[in-house]
Amino acid sequence: MPIIETKNLTKRYGQLLALSNLNLAIEEGDCYGFIGPNGAGKTTTIRILATLLQPTWGEARICDYVIGYESRKVRPLIGYVPDSFGAYEDMVVREYLEFFAAAYDINGKAREQVVSDVLELTDLVYKADALVNGLSRGMQQRLSLARVLLHDPKVLLLDEPASGLDPRARIEIRELLKELKRMGKTILISSHILHELAELCNKIGIIEQGELIFSGTVAEAVRRSRTGTVLFVSVTDRTPEAVAVLKKTPGVKDVEHADGSMRVTLASEVQDITFVVRALLEERFGLREIREEPVNLETAFMRLTKGLVQ
């Protein structure tokens, strides 16, 4: 049974359809990357799962508890990190964590221990006595993660946790998320940094205009987005003639000439690319370079989506 599940989850704001019959299934231990353009419905989905919004219709469950009807049972199981950090400005880091630990009814020696543990896990021990509002954006994001780990939730809901971070802070957050993944947490994370999601997540969902258009592994997304192999080919001279030769070669769908090289699109059924080399060598062209265009998550996202926003 999925640990996070939605069935026909729909959310309307007046005439605006923010979510349309969203069906998600996230298994325990998954790190699930949720991607889509701004306004696609990512934050709305996460806020519903965090029990902060009620759906217009449909159903969402976490650990088989229905959100809305059983939200009090859901909340101890989740840790929600919003896309902006709301700080208690007059607190130092340790006080901030102790306050939230008390809110989860963690008291006495247990509170002292759990605060020390999450400070160590998030590498904030040396900032324990620093004012919260004096922390950098990256430190605040780490503190936000520390806060949601106090009660050891099974599920983490992370809305753009790396937004606005400098490269070093982004790498540090990514490494922390990898550690949480190794600890067995189920993570739903939205982000626009697609190459990092590809490295971190074992599954992704692509949402556009409130509709889930893909859910599966990164490899499956790449396979679905392939419309034919694309090669970059350079010859030593007579490039216009090489273009003409390849355009007449069976198995070649299209050839574009730009910046002294050729972008060769093969037919979708073609698996073996050696015929391109043979066709050029038979006409006595000197081959300088041939390489296949890489297809990654960014490429797949661009091909699977239409660039539509609400």
Q: pLDDT digit string (tens) for 271-309? A: 788 999 999 999 999 999 998 877 778 777 877 777 644
Output DSSP code: residue 267. P
Amino acid at 153: P
Fold of 4-223: Rossmann fold (3.40.50)
Query: Residues 40, 56: contact at Cβ < 8 Å?
Result: no
What is the percentage of the chain residues whose pLDDT exceeds 90?
Answer: 62
Spans of the chain, pLDDT less than 70 = 86-87, 227, 307-310
CATH 3.30.70.100 segments of the chain: 227-293
Choices 3.30.565.10, 3.30.300.30, 3.50.50.60, 3.30.70.100: CATH for 227-293: 3.30.70.100
Return the closest-CA partner of residue 192 out of 207, 211, 178, 177.
207
3-state secondary structure of 39: coil
Q: Which residues contact 130 (CB under 8 A, 6 or more apart)?
A: 92, 93
Tell me if 147 sits within 8 A of 101, measured CB to CB.
Answer: no
Tell me the whole-structure pTM to 2 decimals: 0.81
Q: In what order do the strands lie in the sheet with 211-216?
A: 78-81, 155-159, 186-190, 31-35, 203-208, 211-216
Q: Could you read off the pLDDT of 152-174 as tens digits, one per residue?
A: 999 999 998 887 788 888 888 88
